[in-house]
Each structure stands twice: as structure tokens, then as C-alpha cells.
Amino acid sequence: MKNIALLTSGGDAPGMNAAIRAVVLTAHHYNFNITGYFHGYNGLIHNESKSLSLTDVNGIIGRGGTILKSARCPAMLTPQGIQQAVASLEKDQIDALIVIGGDGSFNGLIEISLLWQGQVIGIPGTIDNDIDHTDFTIGFSTAVNTAIEAIDKIRDTADAFERVFIVELMGRNSGHITFNVGISSAAEQILSFENFDCADTTARLTELSEDIKRVQTNRHASYLIVIAENLWPDGCSSLAQQLTEITGIDCTPCILGYIQRGGSPVAKDRLLATKLGVASVQAINEEKTHLMIGEQNNAVVFIELIEAVKHQKKVNSQLIKAQKDILSVTNQTQI
Ligand code: ATP
């Protein structure tokens, strides 16, 4: 018999509920007690928890968000906060802690493990897909699909009026969503951390303006730029305004924002979340610890937590090169 604690932390991601369900079902399979802590690490610090039954996870596989709620928890960045979290784990006689979240959440788990003897397991759940050593994180596929659906609609109206749209996508400081969505939406341009240097702002403005004028004059069609959040100085609206002023053509900004986080998880996320959720409790049963449960080439992998947070996962270099050399409209000189 083991007592397992489970929490979701950092940005919520579609598929977190599917992972919670898989953890709870597997824990019950092994006759382990499973306790959910609410609002990320805050639940540990402030003793907000609930024993999770099979009924609690009935019907949640298709729901976005997380039934355990999520939150940032600044207290975890202080030694006192970490000590409080550890004190709760000891008071509640927890043997193993599973955290579903991003690299920040994993860093919290590593800090806890320095003061606490229990088993610690991380499940990668973030729409950003920026965690190293796992092909995908839970929530990424749904976020990409949601953004593509939204952009297809924007494209319809942009085509009708031959308009220029600049769509800002989430991803914090990585371009996985931006590149995957941009390429899948046949965006004329993709601007992301991997292909843009802030020092080049003036040169890129000139390039983009000339390209927009050329394509709009010759093709009479829409022109779509997708851009990563936190990239352009003062954001996507500022880029739109600058391009409008230089080209004399209306460039409309559109920030997709939080719709990328919500919605029912796609099959790929439900399956990934279920596989990782089951494997996390199996790992605990086998006395494994200090691991992230990830997936590579369709197989579950066990990665040292410390390795998982060492580097941010890079965007596939073939995607970046294909966009630069072939797919970007700048290459289509016949237009
Ligand atoms: P996402 O990628 O979706 O934003 P994340 O897990 O990376 O998810 P963060 O906001 O970076 O999100 O981290 C979530 C929480 O993890 C923080 O609010 C904090 O409680 C804890 N945390 C982050 N970094 C550390 C750290 N270095 N030490 C201790 N705890 C941390």
C-alpha cells in the first residue's frame, strides 16, 4: 500500500484531465491511495486536498482544463515555501508525488526532492512542447489544432478582402506552436525565436514591407504572418502598426490568446496523457523515482528529471529550414 499525491501545476493544458484519470485508475488498480492537491503547489502549502475516487474521474477524459485546478505558486521560489510543501507531504504520510506540468513545475519537484525522501515523478503537461527528451507534451497537439482551426477562419475573411493579418500565437519563449501552426496554415511568413533576432528588427520590417507590397500587388490575395508571443518589441499590434505605416496597406493584428489553452483534447493528447499517466504509477510501483515519464518514437521513456530540465527542447531544424528555403512566400519570386 502506498499513498500517492497528485497535482497539476503551471499553465493548464488540454489532456491534463486525461492524465489525472489514468493516474487515478492505475493507482486504484494497485490498491494505492491517491490524493489530489488543488491549485498547483499552493494545495500542498495550504493543505487543500481530496482523496480521489474512480467516480471523481468519470467522464473527464474529454474535458479541457484540470479538475485539480492549476496555478503558479510564487512561494515555491522561496526556501520557506518548499519546506512547507515538504511538511505537508510528511504530515499526510505521502510516499510518492506526481506532478503534471512544465519545466518550471519539474524544477519545483526537484527542489522538494532535495528535502524529502519520497518518490517524485513528473508528467510533461504544457501546450508549449518545450520539454526536452519527450517527443510531445500533453496539450501541444490540441493547442496546435485549435490555432489552425481559428486561422483557417481568419484566412477565409482575409481572402475575401485580400487582407494582411498578423496572428500572435502562444509558446512563451519557444516556437513549437508558432512553427507547427504557421506551416500547417500555409502562413506566408513565420516569425519566431528560432528565425528572428531582435537586433534585426529594422531589416526585417523592410523585408516584410517589400514582400507584402509585392505579393499584394501581384497576387491580389490574403497575406498571413504568424508570430510568437513575446518576440516583437511591444508585441504583434506594434508590428501591425509599423507595417501599416510603411506599406500604406492595412495590416490587422489578431492575438489568439487563451483559446489555445482550452477545449476538448484531441485523440493524440488523450492517448499520450493516458499512456504517461498509467506509466507514472507503474514506475512508482516499481520503486522508481526522480523521473519524467515521456514518450519517444511512440514508446514510453523514463528520463532523469534533472536531464529533462537541463535544456529547452528545440524546434525541429528541418521545419525551420523548409520554411526559410522553400515555404516562405519570399522564396516564391514568380508571384
Ligand atoms: P508552463 O510551461 O505551462 O508555463 P511550467 O510548469 O513551466 O508550465 P512555471 O510557471 O514555470 O510553469 O512553473 C509553475 C510553478 O512551478 C511555479 O509557479 C512555481 O510554483 C514552481 N516552480 C517553477 N520554477 C521553480 C523553481 N526554480 N523552484 C521551485 N519551484 C519552481
Q: Which of 7, 9, 70 to mutate to test the pocket of ligand 1 (most atoms within 8 A of CB)?
A: 9
| d(C-alpha 86, C-alpha 110), whole Å | 12
Residues of the chain with pLDDT under 50: none
Separation of 72 CA from ligand 1 center, angstroms? Answer: 6
| d(C-alpha 139, C-alpha 170), whole Å | 12
What's the pLDDT at 87? Answer: 98
Mean of the per-residue pLDDT values of the chain: 96
The residue whose C-alpha atom lies closest to atom 5 belonging to ligand 1 is 102
| d(C-alpha 279, C-alpha 274), whole Å | 8
What's the pLDDT at 198? Answer: 81
The residue whose C-alpha atom lies closest to atom 16 belonging to ligand 1 is 105
Can 269 be counted among the known catalytic residues? no
CB 208 within 8 A of CB 245: no
What's the pLDDT at 331? Answer: 85
What's the pLDDT at 273? Answer: 98
CA nearest to 144, candidates 127, 156, 126:
127
The residue whose C-alpha atom lies closest to atom 19 belonging to ligand 1 is 73
Catalytic residue among 103, 128, 130, 269: 128
Give the pTM.
0.97
CB 182 within 8 A of CB 269: no
What's the pLDDT at 335? Answer: 66
